[in-house]
Structure 1
Amino acid sequence: MTDLTRMTATDLAGLVASGQTSAVEVTRAHLDRIAAVDDRVHAFLHVDTEGALAAARAVDERRAAGEQLGPLAGVPVAVKDVLTTKGVPTTVGSKILEGWRPPYDATIVQRLRAAGTVMLGKTNMDEFAMGSSTEYSAYGPTHNPWDTDRIPGGSGGGSAAALAAYEAPLAIGSDTGGSIRQPGAVTGTVGAKPTYGGTSRYGLVAFSSSLDTPGPCARTVLDAALLHQVIGGHDPRDSTSIPQPVPDVVAAAKLGATGDLTGVRLGIVREFTGEGAEPGVMAAFRESVDTLAKLGAEIVEVSCPHFRYALPAYYLIAPSECSSNLARFDGVRFGLRVGDDGNRSLEEVMSLTREAGFGAEVKRRIMVGTYALSSGYYDAYYGQAQKVRTLITRDFTSAFEQVDALISPTTPFVAFPIGARTADPYQMYLADLFTIPTNLYGGPGISVPCGLSEGLPVGLQVMAPTMADDRMYRVAAALESVVGTFTPPAL
């Protein structure tokens, strides 16, 4: 039989459903792969071997009993360590939560279990999802399987690297400013950010509550759509959850795979075609635009003038929300506690705990956010950023009156060497230049591989109106039908 770790989630599910292989065999193959290569990749922070095999055996028993199982039953999945998992460590890549085992599952994790998927473990990430390279993890960086001296993107680099290294066929990420799409682009995988509120944030450790969006990661567009269908939908425990069904993203992906985009109008964002991107990235993007046109799409240029202000607006809004959300990590209720020797005040214990538990990037964003929210500066900084957010939303609304979806490069550059940008936070922030506007708007976006530059993957981003997630899957699948999937050099 073909190496199980090289197969798509769709094919694996079919083999399990037909009895040609078992969920246990599939799970063991991936656990063996993790054991063989993860010392070079460091995609995982925790591998739940016993839990994974137990879940796989349960799937096999249910199938043997004749029970009707879901379309991804028996398929392994890696989960970003930002989602709570009952009894399984959840650290959010931070020392302040080292060893914490939550007493409950996030809604998305509950839905994964109910669908019969097999959770392999928790993947590495930038601490509290703050970063674009997974170098800000308190547990060390993740390495890109295409070149282990380079970054796999961030903050969800662990999930993307696990896919590219064939350690898992599916993964879950979270996207606050591009943390699903940007790692997808630089690892040659598919990463989809659903409409904000289309996937539940219950059990997602919050970074920026008005931006955080969990979503699917995979090696093919159809696999991502199948995973999206499992995890999406209304959740009454999440006050921001949209009380509407998920659009039929699976049907859209299958339609796109036929390679017919007749009648689809795609907009190129004028502000994303100038300075800021590497020549090789833009060359791959332009070639992909030509491909989409040959598939029948009508290509037009649209202007979104306020997109150029998205980066500074984001880096006021997100840190402001993080300064509020991270106040709960005080050494009193859970997690790390430092300096409690009976001779220090509560304030001193809190200060020592946060000093020891938070990394430099988290501290930087907390300070920026606290300053932006402080008396006398709120209107000048946070208030102005929210006004810019409204203008960006209007740009999207105007653009979608002219086109069905927008396309752009996903990232301005390919994967850069580990350590190349950590000394300059602004250069690191530029990695999310093209992805941030979608988060500020709240609409869906997907990154799909579109070519190579200097032997490294380039991603194309498709952005759609809110609750029109199916449109992005159709376009992405159509491009994939021509470009194909990407395979990194052997580890």
Structure 2
Amino acid sequence: MEADPSVELTGLGAAETVSGIRAGTLRAEACVQALLDRAERLKDLNAFITLDRAGALAAARAVDASRQAGHALPPLAGLPIVVKDNINSAGLPTTGGTPALRHQQPRRNAPSLQKLVDAGAIVLGKTNLHELAFGITSTNLSAFAGPVRNPYDRTRIAGGSSGGTAAALAARIASAGLGTDTGGSARVPAALCGVVGLRPSVGNGGAQRRYHDAGEVVPISHTRDTVGPMGRTVADVALLDSVIAGSALPGAINLSGLRIGVPASFWAGLDGQVEAVMAAAKARLAAAGVNFVDVDIPGLMALNSQVSFQIALHEPIADLPEYLRTTGALQLTLADIAQQVASPDVKLAFGAILADVFGPAYAEVMAVHRPRMQSLYAGYFATHGLAAMMFPTTVLPAVAIDAAQGSSSVSIDGGEPVATFDTFIRNTDPGSNAGIPGLSLHGGMTADRLPVGLALDGPLGSDRTLLGIGLSIEALLGTAPAPVL
């Protein structure tokens, strides 16, 4: 049966797409063609580094042929997805958005991506990012990438470092895809672009991980990095997570009587419009029966400052060369990559890495400070009987792109300038360092029609519970309206 021409193919969700293809009311080729055409029309967003038109269309035709032949289809058959360009992909370059890796061609897919492909997903292309994932604006200044633009206002940042994936989802170029998250890189752009991003459990970076992609993602930190599914809805993200983690889909969790913590330090110093949106969201959730517990985590933010950069600017010294050895595509050193970095903020970070500024502190961070953070979080959830904690994903909505990166500061409601990076990761970074799961979903729109993200963090291993809570919150608050493009 041919696809109904009245169906708006670019607006379909992941589950709708898969079920339509399975039922024969949609053709995978028609879906992929429509999305590729939209990607070309909206190329000024700089959401992509590579589009795989030929490969995606060939994969789609194979799905349609398989269905027509009466073969059983895998769970994601025909689903077009986008993939951040620091996640290894067989047959396509994995550039990390940096000149030195521009021609890197991995031999295989990262395991999380491979599970999606095995389930029938079709890769439309590789998405743009903050260079080497070292930033939160996705203002990439390498010649072949360029700054990612927010679909709600092209003059503003999409967030980072998974800005290309978030922008592609918001722009209706795909309904779901993959980002990565080290300190907020999936959740910050999800918040600023009105989509959903999951940071799965990482724990100490080993067996406690929900996803296992070691050696197959351009790294920052082996104890903090993770692939993170992203989508326009919580259901889209849950669908990808279930395939990657091999778990059942979560069900919506009853909000009535649900205990959710509200930590004051995560709600302090907010932009006025963000504060208004989040207050309204909290009021609606309280009316639906959520039991908000107003209790902070004393000392957490100060402790986080003893952990964050100390890990992220030390672990690349070993992790990046090991990635290059494992991938085996290019003969490069850490210094070779640093020398070709194009973005000033990333070049500054690599100066600190090469000098190993935080090397002397690393052992104490891992033996003392990080375990203290993990203990603080575990005690917070257990002592107060909390299923999760809730807060604004970012303290600001999307700000203007600084195309020359001449400024590294922003102002909140006209106040004194504050560091852009530190400001945007303030609320997502602590949970990242503790290795707990985090989810950002749409909380509402500012008076300027910019999205605001609502974040949930939960105890280690509570990923499906967070997604279940997210399903219920999204059903109450709704999803972001499509941007006018």
On whether the aligned pair clears a TM of 0.5, the verdict is yes
Q: Which runs of 5+ in 1 are unaligned?
A: 234-245, 338-348
The counterpart of 1:417, out of the listed 400, 405, 408, is 400
Instruction: Identify the residue that residue 460 of structure 2 maps to in structure 1.
Output: 466
Query: Does the aligned pair in 1 maintain the 2:67–2:73 contact within 8 Å?
Result: yes
Q: How has the CA–CA distance of structure 1 residues 159 and 12 changed in structure 2, closer, same or farther, with 3 Å as cutoff?
A: same
Deviations 1:349-389 (A, max 9, x none): 98566423564333322332454567xx614x662476332
The counterpart of 2:31, out of the listed 23, 26, 30, is 26
Q: Does 1:164 align with 2:170?
A: yes
Aligned equivalents of 2:96, 2:40: Cα separation in 1: 22
Instruction: Identify the residue that residue 393 of structure 1 maps to in structure 2.
Output: 374
Deviations 1:244-294 (A, max 9, x none): xx4x4x233xx24xxx3123110011211222x212112211211122222
Instruction: Identify the residue that residue 76 of structure 1 maps to in structure 2.
Output: 80
Alpha-carbon offset, residue 488 of structure 1: 3.8
Aligned equivalents of 1:385, 1:121: Cα separation in 2: 37
Query: Does the aligned pair in 2 maintain the 1:132–1:428 contact within 8 Å?
Result: yes
Aligned equivalents of 1:350, 1:458: Cα separation in 2: 37
Instruction: Identify the residue that residue 356 of structure 1 maps to in structure 2.
Output: 340
Matched ranges for 1:323-334 at <5 A: 323-327=317-321, 334=329
Query: Does the aligned pair in 1 maintain the 2:194–2:452 contact within 8 Å?
Result: yes
Identity %: 33
Deviations 1:293-341 (A, max 9, x none): 222221102221232122452122111112332346999x75487xxxx
Alpha-carbon offset, residue 440 of structure 1: 1.0
Q: How has the CA–CA distance of structure 1 residues 208 and 422 changed in structure 2, closer, same or farther, with 3 Å as cutoff?
A: farther
Query: Does the aligned pair in 1 maintain the 2:317–2:334 contact within 8 Å?
Result: no
| 197-206 or 28-37, larger mean C-alpha shift | 197-206
Query: Does the aligned pair in 2 maintain the 1:329–1:335 contact within 8 Å?
Result: no
Q: How has the CA–CA distance of structure 1 residues 73 and 352 changed in structure 2, closer, same or farther, with 3 Å as cutoff?
A: closer
Q: Which amino acid aligns with 2:197?
A: G
Q: Which amino acid aligns with 2:128?
A: N
Query: Does the aligned pair in 1 maintain the 2:335–2:354 contact within 8 Å?
Result: no
Instruction: Identify the residue that residue 199 of structure 1 maps to in structure 2.
Output: 211
Q: Which amino acid aligns with 2:95?
A: T
Q: Does 1:222 align with 2:240?
A: no
Normalising by structure 1, report the TM-score.
0.87
Instruction: Identify the residue that residue 490 of structure 1 maps to in structure 2.
Output: 484
Q: Which amino acid aligns with 2:90?
A: K
Query: Does the aligned pair in 2 maintain the 1:320–1:366 contact within 8 Å?
Result: no
Q: Does 1:378 align with 2:360?
A: yes
Matched ranges for 1:29-428 at <5 A: 29-38=34-43, 40-136=44-140, 138=142, 139-196=145-202, 197-202=209-214, 203-233=216-246, 246=247, 248=248, 250-252=249-251, 255-256=252-253, 260-275=254-269, 277-309=270-302, 310-311=304-305, 313-327=307-321, 334-335=329-330, 354-357=338-341, 359-372=343-356, 378-379=360-361, 383-384=364-365, 387-401=368-382, 402=384, 403-419=386-402, 423-424=407-408, 426-428=419-421
Q: How has the CA–CA distance of structure 1 residues 147 and 261 changed in structure 2, closer, same or farther, with 3 Å as cutoff?
A: same
Query: Does the aligned pair in 2 maintain the 1:330–1:350 contact within 8 Å?
Result: no
Alpha-carbon offset, residue 231 of structure 1: 1.8
Instruction: Identify the residue that residue 478 of structure 1 maps to in structure 2.
Output: 472
Q: How has the CA–CA distance of structure 1 residues 297 and 329 changed in structure 2, closer, same or farther, with 3 Å as cutoff?
A: closer
Would you say how many aligned residue pairs link Structure 1 and Structure 2? 456
Alpha-carbon offset, residue 2 of structure 1: 2.0
Aligned equivalents of 2:312, 2:336: Cα separation in 1: 25
Alpha-carbon offset, residue 456 of structure 1: 0.6
Q: Helix, strand or coil for the counterpart of 1:60?
A: helix
Q: How has the CA–CA distance of structure 1 residues 424 and 312 changed in structure 2, closer, same or farther, with 3 Å as cutoff?
A: farther
Compute the RMSD of aligned alpha carbons.
Answer: 2.3
Aligned equivalents of 1:463, 1:351: Cα separation in 2: 36
Q: How has the CA–CA distance of structure 1 residues 330 and 221 changed in structure 2, closer, same or farther, with 3 Å as cutoff?
A: closer
Aligned equivalents of 1:134, 1:413: Cα separation in 2: 16
Q: Which runs of 5+ in 2 are unaligned?
A: 1-5, 203-208, 410-418
Alpha-carbon offset, residue 102 of structure 1: 1.2
Aligned equivalents of 1:213, 1:137: Cα separation in 2: 24
Query: Does the aligned pair in 2 maintain the 1:323–1:367 contact within 8 Å?
Result: no
Query: Does the aligned pair in 2 maintain the 1:136–1:361 contact within 8 Å?
Result: no
Query: Does the aligned pair in 2 maintain the 1:200–1:232 contact within 8 Å?
Result: no
Alpha-carbon offset, residue 487 of structure 1: 2.1
Q: Which amino acid aligns with 2:244?
A: I
